[in-house]
Structure 1
């Protein structure tokens, strides 16, 4: 299995014309975040009797399309029996998370289209590329690509014609496609017509935040996402248990030789309509496979080691205070969870609950979407 990180779209554009392909830089954003200095947020020291919100408070109704996730204490990270766990999923550490509401499915094309129609929002993948901004993120002296290349687009998947010996080189199955966007997921000649109930993709972090603001929601923390995905099986590898043989009936993933041939034993080659597979214990669909989902946490290679070494219970953790990737010290990435239709046992096996990967803020891809959450206070405020 390999670590799975995605580079900034600016680097991919340049790489795609055989100039450079390094790590991502932070693009201009409409959505700004306040991040304090320091590698990690200090854990909150709690005693063994820490209380969490487990049941829906009186007078609070579950928002339409969402389900209640009971608060709980659990070990975040890889479980002991998971032989596929990667280094950045461990060691596990104890957290306490208050109950909250979560979308029962990933945000669909239909829901995102409603947001766009009401707001006129233009996603990152659809915006014109500013060379003056782009060259700030490239080595000095990098020649400007031809204007025909500097066009709005996104990353799309392409099958390999033969076996791929080096699974670290994801340029073998990802390509920069001009005209690809949430409306054209496979490129300019593709459409979402008839796929209104599919998860929306090609969503950059900024796009997900914009939708959340419109909907009165927010992105989940990594701890919230993991609690929700585990359901009542907090010591299991998958949301359904430990039996990987059930994978084809439980999730939309890659079956066969990646990235050459997908046997489609699970019924789909790429994205599946939401609710195509059984829900987990809490009534959530597609918490494994289909498309990756954004969280609000910075990706920091050292996070799990740092917090676990303090041996303290964290209450409602929000992840690292700042981004850090040991493979690229300049990278600014967020944690994404859940895996996608491209996940296979030989590549990343990220349909496991503890699986986590890093994605740059401006990345938009054919297998990356999101779902939203709402705290009790947010729902109360909405009601008032």
Structure 2
């Protein structure tokens, strides 16, 4: 049966589950060196000091985007793209892992990603009429029954929970980035900028990321279809990262707290704790300035670790080699 969504904690473009699916099936096989072609080599970043967060008031106060502060990180490595359908399929083939969305039997899909009949037949979560709880939607069937990922292996894997990402990382020998590592990498060496490429959203009139085009949530612009684009679409930022703004939300390692910038240390910070929401960064194709402008690099949000949706993916990282 479809799992109900928890009541929204704040205005947000992504619903969340009130529960987790229970113990995951064990990851049965570790990746053998050379047997799986990764999406791309991890990018080595030197770390050091940077300005994290923002003092701007354009975000949601409950998100805790500031105050801005100087943060220092040790060197680390991070993927240039989010994990693709191709890479996640290799993981599932090797381990027979079953995602939480598959175990729940449903996941959240944005209403305009669905054919009209399925849209009408699928219930909306409480308070979020532009979402549907779609039976059998999962990473292999992103828009539910009748959809498939065979023709889009280079697209982000979606419908993955925070718990699912940990299973993938354990198999692949990587980890999720911390929130601070994610923001440092997303800024691409441009300290204090609003976006991954600078302060202007559309420099020269050119779109730099996959965010909502048209009127949200029911009137997309002609020629633009709501949904993820390939993981390496759009030019990379100064560090070589693609789509750090928009496209799909990216899970981070941290437990989410609105007081993150006041509660965590200035050196290698990590939002810690056993329970609570996990941090998501980057925004998604549903971000629009009229409702949710969380595609800015300082923007942050959180969701429960069992949540999954058609606009949530993840990027991996690792300690310095």
Q: Same fold (TM over 0.5)?
A: yes
1:100 and 2:76 aligned = yes
Alignment partners' CA distance in 1, 2:252 and 2:312: 11
Q: 1:64 to 1:198 in 2, by over 3 A?
A: closer
Match of residue 227, structure 1, among 184, 191, 201: 184
Alignment partners' CA distance in 1, 2:68 and 2:141: 39
Residues 226-255 of structure 1, C-alpha deviations (whole Å, 9 max, x = no match): 000001111111111111233852100002
Aligned match of 2:3 = 10
Alignment partners' CA distance in 2, 1:364 and 1:22: 7
Alignment of 1:128-139 (within 5 A): 129=104
Alignment partners' CA distance in 2, 1:178 and 1:249: 34
1:116 and 2:92 aligned = yes
What's the TM-score once normalised by structure 2's chain length?
0.82
Gaps of 5+ in 1: 1-8, 16-20, 32-62, 130-151, 162-168, 308-312, 324-331, 380-384
Alignment partners' CA distance in 1, 2:7 and 2:198: 43
1:314 and 2:266 aligned = yes
RMSD: 2.9
Deviation at 1:180, TM superposition (A): 0.2
Match of residue 333, structure 1, among 271, 277, 283: 277
Alignment partners' CA distance in 2, 1:306 and 1:373: 23
Deviation at 1:125, TM superposition (A): 0.9
Structure showing greater Rg:
1
Aligned match of 1:126 = 102
Q: 1:282 to 1:153 in 2, by over 3 A?
A: same
Aligned match of 1:156 = 109
Residues 170-219 of structure 1, C-alpha deviations (whole Å, 9 max, x = no match): 52111110010000001111111210000000001111111101100000
Q: 1:170 to 1:111 in 2, by over 3 A?
A: farther
Alignment partners' CA distance in 2, 1:170 and 1:279: 36
Could you list the runs of 4 or more consecutive aligned residues of structure 1 that deviate by over 6 angstroms after TM superposition?
A: none
Residues 146-188 of structure 1, C-alpha deviations (whole Å, 9 max, x = no match): xxxxxx0100001499xxxxxxx75211111001000000111
Paired residues in the alignment total 289
Alignment partners' CA distance in 2, 1:156 and 1:170: 15
1:173 and 2:130 aligned = yes
Alignment partners' CA distance in 2, 1:107 and 1:22: 21
Aligned match of 1:285 = 242
Alignment partners' CA distance in 2, 1:181 and 1:23: 14
Secondary structure of the 1:226 match is helix
Aligned match of 2:18 = 24
Q: 1:206 to 1:363 in 2, by over 3 A?
A: same
Deviation at 1:300, TM superposition (A): 1.3
What's the TM-score once normalised by structure 1's chain length?
0.69
CA contact (8 A) 2:16 2:308 kept: no
Secondary structure of the 1:95 match is strand
Gaps of 5+ in 2: 9-14, 26-38, 117-125
Alignment partners' CA distance in 2, 1:192 and 1:104: 21
Aligned match of 1:369 = 313
Match of residue 349, structure 1, among 293, 298, 303: 293
Q: 1:123 to 1:322 in 2, by over 3 A?
A: closer
More displaced stretch, 101-110 vs 170-179: 170-179
Match of residue 214, structure 2, among 241, 256, 260: 256
Alignment partners' CA distance in 1, 2:79 and 2:51: 23
CA contact (8 A) 1:303 1:320 kept: no
Alignment partners' CA distance in 2, 1:64 and 1:176: 33
Q: 1:275 to 1:369 in 2, by over 3 A?
A: same
1:85 and 2:59 aligned = yes
Alignment partners' CA distance in 2, 1:27 and 1:185: 18
Aligned match of 1:60 = none
Alignment partners' CA distance in 2, 1:185 and 1:335: 22
Deviation at 1:360, TM superposition (A): 0.8
Alignment partners' CA distance in 2, 1:304 and 1:215: 31
